[in-house]
Amino acid sequence: MLKYTIKRILLMLPTLFGAAVLVFFLLRLIPGDVCELRMAGEGGFVDDEAIQVCQEELGLDQPKLVQFGEFVYGFMVFDLGQSMWTGKEITHELNLRFKLTLQVALMAAFVSVIIAIPLGTLSAIKQDTWLDYGVRSFSIAGIAIPSFWLGIMIILGLLISTQAWFGEPWMPPIEYVSPFDDPVGNLVQLIWPAIATGYRNAAVATRMTRSALLEVLREDYIRTARAKGLWEKIIINRHALKSSMLPVVTVIGIEFAFLMGGLVVTEQVFNLNGLGKLFVESVQNHDYTMTQALVMLVALIFILTNFVVDLLYAALDPRIRYS
């Protein structure tokens, strides 16, 4: 296991380097830069000398390879630099937003797991019954309904129901509260985007759980266990379910990594100042340093998530051994 872990960590380096090359040079292909955008926003008149001074201050006048070398070196020594748009430290900009997005992604993944595994298992056991058809309809609806539309419906439902019951409309609070300072207030704010996002992820994972469990239930060792007279509950829980979890864990892991950078619209609906919103703003403002840091952060999360999923394979299936 140690040899495999070291090998995987070494393989992360060329992947991160490839992501760094792509994000750095593709960003520079976009017309304009942060200096032109800043000058145009100040008064509409773009002064070439002022733009040149701004570019010199930000280091944009240096050769591209020199800028790329500084970017890679800064990432290697965990120095992400400053935002070209706000002038603040990137680590400071990411601090609060990362915590918020991470919590929403973890809560959405939890919602997905507690919905998908029981419903997928029930659908597989009760194949071609009304329960199976109901679960499959539930999952198809989750895939078809966009999470941002479901979020809007949740907010409207809260407004209408609280107006009818208490005489005053209520909606989730806007200002973020840390779970360590106010756990209840934090849960009240973030449970709704987690449900809206987790429902779609649960729909995908439910279908994967059903199909994987049906395939495992047709294996010879399951027939042997039944022939020996084992209880169906023991067969499902101890033998079939663990083996069928491999593709489900993969789906949930990929969805979790995607949520770390893909909650743009959901964050807009619930007015959350997370990584997705920061991503859009940095691209719009041609903020190269912030965009590069965000892309590398998301790439690192994807790599680490895939690594953790691979390790879970060995824990779920004793036939898998890493060396």
- Per residue in 77-126, pLDDT tens? 888 888 888 888 888 888 878 888 899 999 999 999 999 999 999 998 88
- What are the tens digits of pLDDT across the range 61-87? 888 889 899 888 988 888 888 888 888
pLDDT given at position 41: 57
- Interhelix angle 275-284/288-316, rounded to 10 degrees, is 150
CA angle 70, 75, 81 (to 5 degrees): 70
Q: Distance from CA of residue 235 to its chain's centroid?
A: 34
Residue with tokens 């070291």: 6
Contact partners, residue 119, CB within 8 Å, separation at least 6: 135, 138, 139, 202, 206, 209
Cα distance between residue 259 and residue 272, in whole Å: 14
Residue with tokens 């280091």: 59
- Judged against a pLDDT cut of 70, whether residue 42 lies above it is answered with no
Contact 280, 267 (CB under 8 A): no
Write down the domain spans for the chain. Answer: 2-76, 100-316
Contact 286, 29 (CB under 8 A): no
- What are the tens digits of pLDDT across the range 207-248? 999 998 888 888 888 888 888 888 878 888 777 888 788 888
Contact 267, 189 (CB under 8 A): no
* pTM for the model: 0.85
Cα distance between residue 85 and residue 57, in whole Å: 12
Q: Distance from CA of residue 67 to its chain's centroid?
A: 29
- Judged against a pLDDT cut of 80, whether residue 47 lies above it is answered with no
Cα distance between residue 248 and residue 206, in whole Å: 8
Cα distance between residue 18 and residue 11, in whole Å: 11
CATH architecture classification, 100-316: Orthogonal Bundle (1.10)
% of the chain exceeding 70 in pLDDT: 96
